[in-house]
Amino acid sequence: MDSKIYLSSPHMGGAEQNYVNEAFDTNWVAPLGPNVDGFEKSLESYLGNGNHVAALSSGTAAIHLALILLGVEKGDEVICQSMTFSASANPIVYLGATPIFVDSEPDTWNICPNYLEEAIKDRSSKGKKPKAIIAVHLYGMPYKVDAIKKISEKYEIPIVEDSAEALGSTYKGQKCGTFGDISILSFNGNKIITTSGGGALVSRYLKHKEKAIFLATQARDAAPHYQHSEIGYNYRLSNISAGIGRGQMEVLDSHVGLRRKMNEFYKVIFKNVTGVNVFSEPNSNYFSNHWLSCILVDSSECGFSSEDIRMAMGENNIECRPLWKPMHLQPIFERAPYYGGKTAESLFNIGLCLPSGSNLTDEEKVKINDVLIPFIDK
Ligand SMILES: *Cc1c(COP(=O)(O)O)cnc(C)c1O
C-alpha cells in the first residue's frame, strides 16, 4: 500500500540540520543558547511592529503564561472562542479560572462579536467581569480583528490572540500574531512551521517577554543560590528545537504559498459542485495561510456528506478529519457557560479538513483527486 497521506505533516526546508549540528558542535544542548536567541530574533523581524518574542516549549505553555501575565487567578472568568482546539481553553482551567465559551460567526468561523458582547454584558451583570478574551484564527483564517478589538477596548478586557494556526496570515496587511494584548504561536509537528514541538509568546511590551522567560525558567530570583518568590514553570524552548525553527523560518513564506496552492487545488475540484464550499477569505482584508483547507458539505444539496468523503479517503489511506468540535459540546466543559446559537455546532456537523501540507507531491494530489472525482461526478 502507498504511504499514508496526512492532513499536515512536518516539511523541512534543508537548513534545519545545520543549525541543529551547530548546537551539537558547540554543546549548546540546553533550553537556552544561540538558536533560541536567533529564532526569537527571526520571529521578531518577521512579525515586525516592534514585537517581542519569547520562545517556549509549546503553544499551550504560551497561553498559560499569557493568562498569568494578564493576572488571571483562581475564581476568575475568561472568555474563549468555543470552536477551537482544547489547548486554547485548558490553561484557563490550569489556573482555577472558569472558561466562558462564545459561538462563532459564519464568515471566518471565529469568535462572534455580537455574542462576545452579550457574554461580557451578562457576566458583568452577574458580578464578574471577564479577565481576558481568547480569540483564535482557526485554520489560519483571521478572526474579525477590528470588531473584536473594538469590544475589547470598550470593555477594557485584554485579548489573548491564539495565532497557533495562523503564522503567515494577515488582516489588512498586518501579520497575525501581532493583534493581541498578548499573542501566541505554536510550532507543533502539524503546524505551518514546526520545531518538532514548541511555541512562542508575542507582545509589544518587552516586560511581557522578560516576565514570560522568567516564569518559563522556574522563576529564579537574582541571587547566587536558588531563591524563588513566585511559582515557576519549565516552559523554555530547547536550543535543539530552536535550531529546527531557525531553518523553518527560511521557508515559511514559500510554505504559506504552497498551502494556499492546496486551497486553490480544492477550489478547482469543487468548483461546479453545488452544496460543497471550500473555506475562503470573506474579502480582501483577510489573507489566510490556509494551514488546513476545509470544506462544508450540505448533503441535502449535493447528495453526499462530509463523513462519506472522510470514509472514502480513509479507505485509500488519506487522512481527513472533522472540524474542531466546539468546547461547549465537549464532555469536560459540559457545565461551562456558553453564549451563542448553533453556528459552531453546524460547522462541526458538516465540515471536513482535507490534506493540506506544503509537502504534498503531484502523485499524492492525483490520488486525492481520484478519490474525490466520483463524488463530484454524481
Ligand atoms: C496547536 C494549537 C494550540 C496548542 O499549541 P501546542 O504547541 O500544540 O501546545 C493552541 N491553539 C490552537 C488553536 C492550536 O491549533
Q: Dihedral of CA 144/149/155/159: which sign? A: positive
The three cell numbers locating residue 147: 470588531
What does the pLDDT read at residue 99?
98
The Cα-based distances of 316 to 2, 92, 366 in angstroms read 9, 39, 12
What does the pLDDT read at residue 376?
86
CA-197 nearest atom, ligand 1: 7
Ligand 1 binding pocket includes 164 (Cβ within 6 Å): yes
Q: Report helix angle 34-47 to 16-25, nearest 10.
A: 150
Residue 112 and residue 81: Cα distance in Å, rounded? 8
To test the pocket of ligand 1, the residue of 94, 183, 186, 236 to mutate (highest count of ligand atoms within 8 Å of its CB) is 186
Domain boundaries, the chain: 16-250, 253-377
CA-190 nearest atom, ligand 1: 1
DSSP codes, 84-124: S-GGGTHHHHHTT-EEEEE-B-TTTSSB-HHHHHHHHHHHH
332 DSSP 8-state letter: G
Residue 260 and residue 365: Cα distance in Å, rounded? 14
Q: How far is CA 371 from the centre of its chain?
A: 29
Residue 160 and residue 214: Cα distance in Å, rounded? 19
Residue owning the nearest CA to atom 5 of ligand 1: 59
| φ, ψ for residue 160, nearest 5 deg | -100, 110
Which residue out of 191, 209, 211, 367 is catalytically annotated?
191
Number of H helices, E strands in the chain: 13, 14
To test the pocket of ligand 1, the residue of 85, 160, 194, 327 to mutate (highest count of ligand atoms within 8 Å of its CB) is 85
Cell 493576572, residue located: 71
Residue 270 and residue 221: Cα distance in Å, rounded? 58
- CATH class given for the domain over 16-250: alpha beta
Ligand 1 binding pocket includes 199 (Cβ within 6 Å): yes
Q: Which residues in the chain show pLDDT less than 50?
A: none
270 DSSP 8-state letter: T
Domains 16-250 and 253-377 share a fold: no
CA-60 nearest atom, ligand 1: 9
Q: Find the 298 Cα to ligand 1 centroid distance in Å.
A: 29
What does the pLDDT read at residue 68?
98
What does the pLDDT read at residue 2?
67
Q: Tens of pLDDT along 291-308?
A: 999 999 999 999 999 999
Return contacts of 276-279, CB within 8 angstroms, 24+ apart: 276/302, 279/109, 279/139, 279/141
Question: CATH homologous superfamily for 253-377?
Answer: Aspartate Aminotransferase, domain 1 (3.90.1150.10)
Q: What is the pTM of this model?
A: 0.97
**Strand blocks (E) in 198-337:** 199-203, 276-278, 286-287, 293-297
191 is catalytic: yes
What does the pLDDT read at residue 231?
97
Residue 4 and residue 2: Cα distance in Å, rounded? 6
